[in-house]
């Protein structure tokens, strides 16, 4: 596996393949919980978790912020020709995927190939890298979880992409999504993501929200149809986020996106890619947005990361909060899994984590946290009365008049008459602390 004669171990020579060694190992570069072949219920851990590596954070993001330059150097950044840079980066990326043992990766068009100075040149750049990526996929067995288009970095998108008030910008967004869909199909991508980067507004005072939302719906219907036309059989995903970079983003949270998809006739082809940090930004818990999506039959995939509850930024930390992951995996298990979606580490190491090995450590942390969360969630579901307790709270709707209410055969008059007849209801404890205790007892 070489490009321009470079071997696979050029980029991270000091780190080998990361293996499962069990909870008692004292090695840093080893998994304590993620044992890809271990059966959990009826599936292997690998098939439950479907881990993916995010190209943008792991291979493009040097840690720069509005106050200072990057703190990490990527070996491929020494190539000043952007296409050389892209080729070496691709090689480094596949070395990383293979060593960390992730079955999938995800990218934006502009992460893997540089934008050219015309639509045609940009397409050509992308096609060239895609052809190489296809080869790497073949030799390594690593697959594409999803592709997407970066419709937010270029200055032309400052007022939005498909929601831009200038139709000429919408056309450029179309050109990019068309090419990114082709790239995704070519690489056998199992999903295609739309994160509404700047689809929102900086101020409502100059914005026709109704028209912009309809433009977004129209654009997505066209994208859906084009994808189907060129053979994309996977799931289209929208990734909710309430703000940043726009002051307000139209895909605010799961509930908002579900309403939008139904309103725009997109609900049959689209599901949601729920990100922990974005749920937090919307003022929800991770579990809330996952559950809202799952309840609508629309939980398609997850951007696995962790926000900081003390501030309102999209910090995209690697997931280390076991509680969060237990809750998440309980929801995933109850809906029967995530496939064809997966858990994509849309996460970055802190700016202060400046060693190349930190990227390995961070992914090991995230993979182990989710693997442990999966084991605990499975144990709770299989061996405790957690779900039964929850179900029992609603048992008054299982038969008799409660069931009649649920199926719509009662009237307001009936409710009044029943209230009168049955008198004051007995007090029933919600028992939240008991549920919390139960989860803690299963963290072993």
Q: Which residues bind ligand XLS (CB under 6 A)?
A: 108, 148, 193, 195, 239, 241, 275, 303, 314, 346
Q: Which of 35, 109, 251, 314 binds Ni ion (CB under 5 A)?
A: 314
Stretch that binds Ni ion, among 44-52, 139-147, 150-158, 313-321 (CB under 5 A): 313-321
Tell me which residue has its CB nearest to ligand XLS: 195
Q: Let me know if 111 is a catalytic residue.
A: yes
Total Cβ atoms within 10 A of residue 399: 9
Encoded one letter per residue, x for contact with Ni ion by CB under 5 A and - for no contact, window 320-349 reads: --------------------------x---
On whether the CB atoms of residues 8 and 91 are closer than 8 A, the answer is: yes
Taking the least distance from each CB to ligand XLS, the nearer of 148 and 246 is 148
Contacts (CB under 5 A) with Ni ion, residues 397-426: none
The reply on whether position 253 binds Ni ion by CB under 5 A is no
Q: Which string of b and e fits 185-210 if b means at least 16 CB within 10 Å? A: bbbebbbbbbbbbbbbbeeeeebeee
Minimal distance in Å, beta carbon 7 to ligand XLS?
31
Stretch that binds Ni ion, among 22-30, 98-106, 275-283, 369-377 (CB under 5 A): 275-283
d(CA 57, CA 348): 5
Q: Where are the beta strands (DSSP E) in 19-142?
A: 19-20, 30-31, 39-40, 43-44, 51-54, 104-108
* H or E element that contains 275: strand 270-275
The reply on whether position 269 binds Ni ion by CB under 5 A is no
Residue 148's binding partner among ligand XLS, Ni ion, none (Cβ under 5 to 8 angstroms by kind) is ligand XLS
The reply on whether position 315 binds Ni ion by CB under 5 A is no
Distant-in-sequence, close-in-space partners of 225: CB < 8 Å, separation ≥ 6: none
d(CA 205, CA 41): 53
Q: Which string of b and e fits 340-377 if b means at least 16 CB within 10 Å? A: bbbbbbbbbbebebeebeebbbbbbbbbbbbbbbbbbb
User: Of 48, 108, 278, 327, which is the active-site residue?
Assistant: 108
The reply on whether position 277 binds Ni ion by CB under 5 A is yes
Minimal distance in Å, beta carbon 38 to ligand XLS?
29
The reply on whether position 289 binds Ni ion by CB under 5 A is no
The tokens describing 35, both together, are: 């044992």
Q: Give ∠ CA 133-137-142 in degrees, rounded to 5.
A: 125
On whether the CB atoms of residues 90 and 129 are closer than 8 A, the answer is: yes
Q: Give ∠ CA 303-305-179 in degrees, rounded to 5.
A: 35
Q: Which of 275, 289, 324, 368 binds Ni ion (CB under 5 A)?
A: 275
Minimal distance in Å, beta carbon 305 to Ni ion?
6
Taking the least distance from each CB to ligand XLS, the nearer of 128 and 244 is 244
- Dihedral of CA 412/416/421/425: which sign? positive
Among 250, 253, 129, 255, which Cα is nearest to 198's? 250
Minimal distance in Å, beta carbon 265 to ligand XLS?
23
Minimal distance in Å, beta carbon 194 to ligand XLS?
8
User: Of 35, 109, 111, 303, which is the active-site residue?
Assistant: 111
Q: Let me know if 108 is a catalytic residue.
A: yes
The tokens describing 83, both together, are: 């296409």
Minimal distance in Å, beta carbon 275 to ligand XLS?
5
Distant-in-sequence, close-in-space partners of 84: CB < 8 Å, separation ≥ 6: none
Taking the least distance from each CB to ligand XLS, the nearer of 253 and 303 is 303
Minimal distance in Å, beta carbon 32 to ligand XLS?
27
The reply on whether position 111 binds Ni ion by CB under 5 A is no
Residues that bind Ni ion (CB under 5 A): 275, 277, 303, 314, 316, 346
Q: Which residues are catalytic?
A: 108, 111
């Amino acid at each position: 596996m070489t490009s321009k004669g470079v071997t696979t171990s050029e980029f991270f020579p000091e780190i080998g393949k990361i293996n499962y060694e069990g909870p008692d190992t004292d090695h840093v570069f080893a998994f304590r919980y993620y044992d890809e072949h271990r059966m959990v219920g009826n599936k292997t851990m690998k098939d439950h978790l479907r881990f993916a590596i995010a190209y943008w954070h792991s291979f493009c993001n040097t840690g720069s912020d509005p106050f200072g330059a990057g703190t990490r150097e990527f070996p491929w950044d020494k190539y000043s020709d952007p296409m050389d840079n892209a080729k070496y980066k691709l090689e480094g990326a596949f070395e990383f995927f293979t060593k960390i043992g992730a079955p999938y990766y995800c990218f934006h068009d502009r992460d893997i190939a540089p934008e050219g100075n015309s639509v045609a040149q940009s397409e050509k750049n992308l096609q060239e890298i895609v052809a190489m990526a296809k080869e790497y996929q073949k030799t390594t067995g690593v697959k594409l979880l999803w592709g997407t288009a970066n419709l937010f970095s270029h200055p032309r998108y400052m007022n939005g992409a498909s929601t831009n008030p200038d139709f000429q910008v919408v056309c450029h967004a179309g050109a990019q999504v068309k090419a990114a869909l082709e790239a995704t199909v070519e690489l056998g991508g199992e999903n295609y993501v739309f994160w509404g980067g700047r689809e929102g507004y900086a101020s409502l005072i100059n914005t026709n929200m109704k028209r912009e939302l309809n433009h977004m719906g129209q654009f997505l219907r066209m994208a859906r149809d084009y994808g189907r036309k060129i053979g994309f059989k996977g799931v289209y995903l929208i990734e909710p986020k309430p703000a940043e970079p726009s002051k307000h983003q139209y895909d605010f949270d799961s509930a908002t996106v579900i309403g939008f998809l139904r309103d725009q006739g997109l609900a049959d082809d689209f599901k949601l890619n729920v990100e922990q940090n974005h749920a937090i930004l919307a003022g929800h818990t991770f579990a809330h947005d996952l559950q809202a999506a799952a309840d609508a039959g629309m939980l398609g995939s997850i951007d696995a990361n962790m926000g900081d509850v003390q501030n309102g930024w999209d910090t995209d930390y690697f997931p280390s909060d076991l509680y969060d992951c237990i809750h998440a995996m309980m929801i995933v298990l109850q809906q029967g899994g995530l496939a064809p979606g997966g858990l994509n580490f849309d996460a970055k190491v802190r700016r202060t984590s400046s060693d190349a090995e930190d990227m390995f450590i961070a992914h090991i942390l995230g993979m182990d946290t989710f693997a442990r969360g999966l084991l605990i969630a499975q144990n709770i579901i299989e061996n405790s009365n957690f779900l039964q307790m929850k179900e029992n709270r609603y048992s008054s709707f299982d038969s008799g008049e409660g069931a009649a209410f649920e199926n719509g055969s009662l009237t307001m008059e009936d409710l009044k008459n029943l209230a009168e007849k049955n008198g004051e209801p007995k007090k029933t404890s919600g028992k939240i602390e008991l549920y919390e205790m139960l989860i803690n007892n299963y963290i072993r």
